Amino acid sequence: MYCLIFTPGGLLIMMGQHARSEALFYYFTLEEYIPQDHLLRLIDKHIDFSFVRQQLRDSYSNTGRPSVDPELLLRILLLGYLYGITSERKLVEELGMHLAWRWFTGLGFHQPIPHHSTFSKNRHGRFQESNLFRRLFEEVVARCLETGLVKGDHLAVDGSFIEANAAKESRIPREQLAEVAQVNRTARQYLEELEEQNPVEEPAHEQEQVSTTDPDSTYATKGGTPARLGYYDNYLIDNHSCVIVGVQATAARLSQETVAAQDMISRFAQWQGQEPASVAADATYGNGEFLQWLLDRGITPWMRTRDSARRKNSPFYGPEQFTYLPASNSYLCPAGEQLNYVGLNVRNRAHAYIGSGKRCGACSQPRTTSTQEGRGAVC
């Protein structure tokens, strides 16, 4: 169609004008419209989602109407994660308009999209109870290992503080929690789960005050920021590919970071059939207990010890100046005096060795501190 415009100089044929029209039927296949290098094609090629049905087999009844395919639900939820859509209503709306999303989920134009409430029920029910999302993560890591993308010999570990959706003003003394639970559903559920999971001894991360909004969260700070309620999200990363090969959420406690690191390293070593050669981390992980755990498994630790992080301009001797005597489980200080084992330093979980005042009182050497292979020495 052309647009005719009259001017003083005569008739001009200007730019074309598209006439909007819509056919009653369209004949095409989705396969033809999805580029070969599209992200969703690559995911569909390398990840087999059929494990979902086997994983959830015991979660479905043998009678009644057939349910929505759980693989379909997982594929749609994965789309929301990949494209940053956190609202399930919005996810369903967008799915109806994207050809590539339709192709990835296998939904034709004649097939209805599941109702948004179906995702919430399964995500908080079957999917969470069966650890389906962890299984999906493991499947992805397994494919990365098979193709050689992840080497798995040199790893790094770290934790990030994730703020909870709870205000610090919601904290109350723990002894009042049972009273509040009578009218607060969240607190009541927390106490019921706590009794079911740990009926005898209290979890290590329990605090004197607890939030009535999110009782599992921990009031803590990290990196010099103001204290907030939250959690630690811990990651294990392959240094070669920068692919995350381990994830674990814990309470926001420094002690829990090394616990999570041990779990993730052990799990990953089991997947690939061998221990990594080295693990890098910041000084948060540089305590004697974790260093010894790594060394016992033949893993080289690349991290500063907690005392060395505070000893940047210190005149004290470093660990290389002390000699360990395995037979007597003691150290020799630079002056040649013996430092005997006195127990575990609770603050940084290092084994402490100390000299006596009689032997060390007249020493002309400065006071020194050392940490070596998970052991600390003081004279």
Nearest-angstrom CA–CA distance, 322 and 266:
32
> Hey, what long-range contacts does 298-306 have (CB within 8 A, 24 or more apart)?
299/265, 299/275, 302/278, 303/279, 305/350, 305/371, 306/348, 306/350, 306/371
Q: Which of 304, 331, 352 is the last residue of a domain?
A: 304
Say if residues 133 and 127 touch (Cβ distance below 8 Å). yes
DSSP string, 314-342: --S--GGG-EEETTTTEEE-TTS-EEEEE
Considering the chain, what percentage of its residues have pLDDT values greater than 70? Answer: 77
**Residue spans of the chain under pLDDT 50:** 1-2, 199-204, 368-379
Please give the model's pTM, rounded to 2 decimal places.
Answer: 0.66
Confirm whether 341 is domain-assigned.
yes
Residue 290's domain is classified under what CATH number? 3.30.420.10
Q: What is the pLDDT of residues 290-331, one digit of tens each?
A: 888 999 999 999 988 766 555 555 566 667 778 888 888 888
| Residue 57 main-chain phi, psi, to 5 deg | -55, -40
Do 295 and 334 sit in the same domain of this protein? no
Do 160 and 183 sit in the same domain of this protein? no
Question: In 10 A of CB 151, how many CB atoms?
Answer: 17
Check residue 7 and give its pLDDT.
55
Confirm whether 21 is domain-assigned.
no
**Domain range enclosing 345:** 316-378
Do 254 and 160 sit in the same domain of this protein? yes
| Residue 12 main-chain phi, psi, to 5 deg | -115, 140
